[in-house]
Amino acid sequence: MNRTITLTALALLCSASFCARAGDGAVVAAASTGAAECRPAEGLTRVERQLVDKAAQGIRPLVQFIHRTRMIYQLDVMETVAWLDRQRACSTGVAHLAPNGD
């Protein structure tokens, strides 16, 4: 089960980075992001900064951090990866579109 979660998270991270580099600059995501979710890097909490740092190191350190601290921070791998994707899209200026194209 842990392997399935890790592989799914890796696939999401890889597809997000691939889509962000795609030609037209738009990423179609399951959930659209609002302006309230986009915060500058200075506005992140300590835990959110740790998550961003671990994600920069790779999927394995990120998943290990989430599993090691899940009793403290109540983090979920899939939700964290989705949050990181939204944060990356906000910081790079890539627009997220709703699945129906709105």
Secondary structure in 3-state letters for 44-57? CCHHHHHHHHHHHH
Query: Which pLDDT tens digit goes with each residue over 47-81?
Result: 999 999 999 999 999 999 999 999 999 999 999 99
Q: Going by C-beta distance under 8 Å and a sequence separation of 6 or more, which residues neighbour residue 92?
A: 20
Q: What is the pLDDT of residues 17-31, one digit of tens each?
A: 444 433 333 322 333
Is residue 84 classed exposed, middle or buried when 0-12, 13-18 and 19+ CB atoms within 10 A define those classes?
A: buried
**Residue ranges of domains in the chain:** 2-97
Give pTM, 2 decimals.
0.56
Q: Helix, strand or coil for residue 97?
A: strand
The strand pairing partners of 95, in sequence order, are 26
The tokens describing 45, both together, are: 């909490």
